[in-house]
Structure formats: structure tokens, C-alpha cells
Amino acid sequence: MEKLKNYIRGKWQSGDGDGQALHNASNGEVIAYASTEGIDFKSILQYGRQVGSPHLRKMTFQERGLMLKALALHLRKHLEKFYAISYQTGATKADSWVDIEGGIGNLFANASLRRKFPDEPFCLDGEAHNLSKNNTFMGHHLLVPKEGIAVHINAFNFPVWGMLEKIAVNLLAGMPALVKPATLTSYLTEAVVKEIIASGILPDGALQLVCGSAGDLLDHVLSQDVVTFTGSASTGLLLRKNENILRENVPFTMEADSLNCIILGKDVTPEMTEWDIFIKEVRKEMTTKCGQKCTAIRRIFVPKDKLEEVQTALGKALSQTSIGNPTNEKVRMGPLAGMSQKKEVLSQVQKLLASSQLIYGSLDSVQVIDGDAEHGAFLSPLLLLNENPLQNKEPHEIEAFGPVSTLMPYTGMEEAIQLSKMGKGSLCSTIVTANDKIAKQYVLGAGAWHGRILVLNRDCYKESTGHGSPLPLLIHGGPGRAGGGEEMGGIRGVKHYMQRVAIQGSPSSITSISNVYQPHAKGRLSDIHPFKKYYEDLIIGDQLITEKRLITAEDIDAFADLTGDHFYAHIKTTDFIGTMFERQVAHGYMMMSIAAGLFVDSYEKNPVLLNYGIDELRFTKPVYPGAEVYVRFTCKEKISTELKDENDIPKGIVKWYVEIFDETEEAIGVATILTMVMRKPG
């Protein structure tokens, strides 16, 4: 029988010994064996730091993002192979879609995120701070990639998504990864990594894989490394207490299984669309991945007067779930990932039954389509009822990681909020209501105890991704029992793998270091207008100081007539007593338009293709007729862009810092404008 291989130090290598047997979840047949025996984890981590890290840290955000995009496109060519292996884990086609194509979707999402970052290996973080009276000393924050390796210890339930959603973020940040999937389903992770490595898209050392026991892995992590863990809260706590992690102050992010809940609003009645939405959402969350999701609904809270009707409706919905071999098209719920997992779930259900009763499903029998009921890890959906949730702690403390959920009543929204908090921290929660006031009360009351809250109603249901779907650009994590961590989250997630360092100095020094122009830095004056320069020729700090222009009352009247903006402050005959102005004042947008007329070189074609936006526009001082204004126009930042197709014009994005001054040398307005600038021909 085949033994899984580990991809370490740039080559594929099997562990020593027989290893752990991995079984087909539907029939119990042995698929492969996994072993990390004899593997030197210390040298693996060193390889990532010494080989992978330098390669990635030299790449810019744009290059890393395009690398992720290329990887996603490559993996999409091998979907059929991945699906065939995924069925052996017990996942149906729909389950596998979430795991495989959802994981690849994370690569695409993070690839697109590159547009939020500069064309540099590092980036500025937040706002600049002027620290001196004469504008010669300032402070800022810089984010640079950590010089260690990201160690990802993943759960068995999403062997593809669990890996890709994490490495997408650390690779974009410029940090290599070692992935340690749960052994139970690691054969699917191995298949995906084989295609990643075969593609040659990632630089050497950027990704390593071990299939099997973690051994003494955590004993060798260092302060520049990052450890993430997804799995049970008890295992996460054990890993987090590792003496080496504490001694080295290694960042440890945990995303633990939690007792997530759903609430049916008191306003919802059986004839409403929201009622059907609620029933469908509970059924979906109980049966998708056979309930083996860290985000699955474990606690169902409904108004006490609707308890019996909800029980009946859920029983009817669950009875329509066909269970069996995932390769059969009629099957809607496959088996658990393995017999050990089934044993664990049934053990936890017995603990729940100490204060609850089983109202749907069977503990010892299930009708199976095209599967081996004896050797396969099949289990019926199990719906429990606990009528005293405030007094009974079991539903709020014990999780059966399978198709198991407990129905419980509440009397009012304050009680529903209290019950949701009794889970001691959750990854996500959902409230189904047609009343936004009820939704607001729940979100504000329960928000501190949940990483994500979904407000579900008829307006968003058709396009909603659902209760259990974490999204790449939103944080995935939660407080307390859920682990206290945050994964993904767009730019927020990237920052977990970067070191924030405060930098202080002159505006010119900070400009030189960051390659982003800072206010009051020295500019670079030239006889060549900046708009006449191609993208490659522009240098940060290239500057133009324009001629002056006199502002007249006639200008203001004409602009008001042209735009239709006859706000009282722009009209000469206004009585200005009690207003903020002395007399007729120029429109702010008029001043921005005049500024454009001053800095734009408009008489012949030039490399500037178009102006497509204005950021951070502020009007800082009123402008009255008689004022003379001029503009200081500076190249602030450059961001490279790739060609969309063969007909696209090679170009890059250039940001310009615009400062408008009056005759007193005071700024009357500032803004950042964005242009697309042509690259040199050829």
C-alpha cells in the first residue's frame, strides 16, 4: 500500500516505519499510510527560513499576488483529480466544492488584494504623524515581512481549503509556510501540494508539507515564526502552552471549534419567507460536510411559543436528507471522516443526552445508499431538544463534531443574547429576522462574543454565502472558546505575517525609505513637466510648482451657473452675519478644478492616459475673491499593473499629492489624485 510523502527541503520524502493507516470513509478500505517518523523538523524550519524567506521577501506585493493568481489558475486544471480523492474523505460533491474550489477562490481573492498594496516588498501602515512645529520631524509605521516561517497545523475537515486559505495570506505577506494537515485526510492535501510543486510557480522553500504526526515540531519554532492552529479547543490549548512557544514569544493564532448558534427572531411566523430560510439554513449547516465544520450550527434558539412548530419543521426537513457514498449523485450527506470520528461524536452525544432528549435521528442505525453501513463512518443527523437551556450547561459546553445540533427555547431577545454568550465565544452566529431593530439589538448585545454575525432575511438570502462560510476579505475567528484569533480578513490577515516597526526621521528620509512621498519632504523640480514622463521615468518626489491664478467673483458666479451649485455661501448678495464666512466664498470643487487647470499639461498628447479618481480631498481654508492660488504637484507613489489582454496598453498607476496654496502660503486644499500612466513603448 502506498505511503504518503512529505515535501521537505525541496524534495519528496517518505517517513520511516509503517505509519498510520488512512481509510476510505465510505467503506473502511485502506487508502494509504502516513508517517513523519525519522524526519528532522528543525532542519525543515531552517530550510524555510534560509531558502524560502529570502526569495519571498525580495518579491513585491504585486509579484506575490500574480504568483497566487497563477497558482489558482493552475490548480483549476486539476479539479477532476481532486474531486475523485475528496469523495474518499466522505465529502459529497457539494462538500468538495466548498473545500476545493473554495480554497482556490481564496487564492484568487488574495491575488486581487495586491491592488491594495504598493509595488514594494513592504508597505506603510496607517497615517503619518507630524512630530515637530517646523515640519522637519515625523513618524510613520512600516510593515516588513517577518523573517521566519509560518507553521500551519490544520484540521481534518477541510484538507484543501484549510491549507490554501492560510498560505494565500502568508505568501502574499512574503513569508514561507510549512503545512501540517490532520493525518486523517492528509492524502487529499498531499495531492494538491504535488500539483503546486509540479507547477514550479512558487520559489524554492516557499511551501513544505508533512503528513503525519507533528512530533517535536513546535520545540524548534523561533520568534520570527508564526504558528496557526485549527482544531479542537483542548488540543489548541495544549499546543499554545508549549514551553518553546512561550519562551520565544512566537505568535500563535488559534481557530477552534465552537458552539455556534442561530436565532429565530420573535417576529418570524410559519407563513413568512424568513421561516423557510431559517429551516433551510439549519438543515444545511447540520448536513454539509456531515456537520464536520468549525462553523456549523450547534445551538438553535427559537421563541418558546414556536418551539413545537420548529421541531416539526426541522424533523421534516432532515428526513429528506439522503445519506450514503458521496460518489452516488442521489446522496446529499456522506459519512464522517472516519470510524474514530464517529466514535468520538457518539461519545459527545451521550454527554449531551444527560440534559437533552433526542427528537430526530438514531444513534445506532442509518439507511445508507451505495455504502457500507458497517465499515463506513455513516451517522444519521441527530437533533436534540433541551427545554431548560439557562439551567443546563451541557449544550453550551459540549460539542459533538458531526451532524448534531440542539434545539432550545428563549422568552425574549435579552435572554437569547444571554444564551448565545453561554457558548463562551463563537466563530459565528446567525439571526433570522425581518425586523432590523431586532437584528441591531442582537448584534450589539452579542457582538463581543462572536467573530462574525450574519443577519439573514428575504432581502439577502438568495445571494448570501450562508452561516458557515468564512470569506477571504472578512476575518475568520472569534473570542474565548473560539480561540481568540483572526484569519484571512483581507489586509488585516496579511499583517499577521509582517512586523510593524515605527520609523522616525525627516519627511525626506521617510520618503526615501518608504518610496511614498511624505508632506514637507524635499521635491525634485525639473524642466520637464511630470505629465510628459513615462511611468518608468517618474521618480517619487518629482515635483511641479505652478503659476498663480487670481480668483474673481465672476469665476465663482460662472462655476455656480455651470454646475447648478448655488449654495448660499457662493452668492455675493448673501447676508453673511451668523455664517462661517466673511463674504462670497469659492466652491471647494471649483478650487480643485482650477488646480487641475494649473497642473495639467493639456495641449498635446502625453503618457498620462486618464485621471480616474481623487482620494483624501480636503478643503482647509476658505478662498475669497482676490486670492491668488498656485499648486505644488508631487509624484507620491507608483503601483505597477499587468496587462489585461493583448490589446491592453502597458501602463502603471501613479498617485500625485496635490497641495493648493494662496498668496499667504497657507494651504487651502490638499488631495491625492490617481492617474494611469503609459509605459515606454517596447
Reduce the secondary structure of 140-207 to three states and give it as a string: EEEEEECCCCEEEECCCCCCCHHHHHHHHHHHHHCCCEEEECCHHHHHHHHHHHHHHHHHCCCCCCCE
Q: Is 1 exposed, middle or buried (0-12, 13-18, 19+ CB in 10 A)?
A: exposed
- For the chain, helix, strand, coil in percent to 5 are 35, 25, 40
Q: Are 337 and 89 spatial neighbours (Cβ–Cβ below 8 Å)? A: yes
Following CA atoms 493, 496, 497, 499 in sequence, which dihedral angle do they give, to the nearest 10 degrees? 130
CB atoms within 10 A of CB 502: 10
Q: Which helix (H) or strand (E) holds 545?
A: strand 542-545
Crossing angle of the two packed helices 307-318 and 273-287, in degrees rounded to 10: 50
Beta bridge partners of 500: 143
Whether 294 is catalytic:
yes
Q: Are 5 and 14 spatial neighbours (Cβ–Cβ below 8 Å)? A: yes
Cell numbers for 47, please give them. 530550510
**560 residue type, one letter:** A
Whether 374 is catalytic:
no
Residue 77 phi, psi dihedral angles, 5° rounding: -75, -10
Strands (E), 304-457: 357-360, 382-385, 404-410, 429-432, 453-456
Catalytic residue among 290, 294, 428, 635: 294
Residue 656 phi, psi dihedral angles, 5° rounding: -120, 135
**492 residue type, one letter:** R
Report d(CA 315, CA 331) in Å as an integer: 18
Catalytic residue among 120, 190, 255, 281: 255
All residues at 6 or more sequence positions from 225 whose CB lies less than 8 Å from its CB, including other chains: 45, 49, 146, 148, 149, 150, 151, 248, 250, 251
All residues at 6 or more sequence positions from 123 whose CB lies less than 8 Å from its CB, including other chains: 61, 117, 142, 143
The H-assigned helical ranges of 357-435 are: 394-397, 413-421
Q: Are 376 and 335 spatial neighbours (Cβ–Cβ below 8 Å)? A: yes
Concatenate the DSSP letters of all residues of 28-73 into one string.
--EEEEE--BT--HHHHHHHIIIIIHHHHHHS-HHHHHHHHHHHHH
Report d(CA 13, CA 39) in Å as an integer: 9
Catalytic residues: 255, 294
